[in-house]
Amino acid sequence: MPSTLLRSGSERSRDRHCLVRHGTGAELLGEFVMEGGGETANVAEGSGLRKRGRAERDGPGRHDGPKRDKCRRDNIAELYLKLRPMVPGVCPKAPRAELLREAFLYIKFLEEERVRLEKLKMSSAQVIANSSSISVALSDSNLAVFAITSSVRRNLVTNIISVFGQHQAEILAANVMAQEGWMSMTVTASVNDVADGAIEKIKQDILMV
Q: What are phi and psi of 50, to 5 degrees?
A: -65, -40
For 132-208, CATH number out of 2.40.50.180, 3.40.120.10, 3.30.70.260, 3.40.640.10 equals 3.30.70.260
What's the CA gap between 178 and 185, in Å, rounded? 9
Q: Please tell me the predicted confidence (pLDDT) of residue 159.
A: 92
User: Which pTM was predicted?
Assistant: 0.39
Which of 125, 128, 126, 167 has its CA nearest to residue 146? 167
Percent of the residues in the chain that have a pLDDT greater than 70, as a whole number: 65
Residue 144 has pLDDT above 60, yes or no: yes
Closest CA to 186 of 155, 150, 152: 150
pLDDT tens digits, 29-88:
344 344 444 444 444 444 554 555 555 555 555 667 788 888 888 898 898 888 888 888
DSSP per-residue string spanning 87-111: STT--TT--HHHHHHHHHHHHHHHH
| pLDDT score at 195 | 67
- In sign, the C-alpha dihedral spanning 141, 142, 143, 145 is positive
Sheet holding 39-42, edge to edge: 16-21, 29-34, 39-42
Angstrom distance (rounded) from CA 92 to CA 172: 70
CA 41-45-49 angle, to 5 degrees, is 155
Domain map (residue ranges) of the chain: 15-57, 62-130, 132-208
CB neighbour class for 99 (10 Å; exposed up to 12, middle 13-18, buried from 19): middle
| Range with the poorest average pLDDT among 27-31, 38-42, 139-143, 162-166 | 27-31
Which among 45, 23, 41, 44 has a CA at the least distance from the CA of 32? Answer: 41
Report which of residues 138 and 73 the model is more confident about.
73
- The CATH code that applies to domain 62-130 is 4.10.280.10
d(CA 172, CA 187): 8
Given pLDDT bands bounded at 50, 70 and 90, which one contains residue 187?
Answer: very high
Same fold, 62-130 and 132-208: no
CB 164 within 8 A of CB 182: no
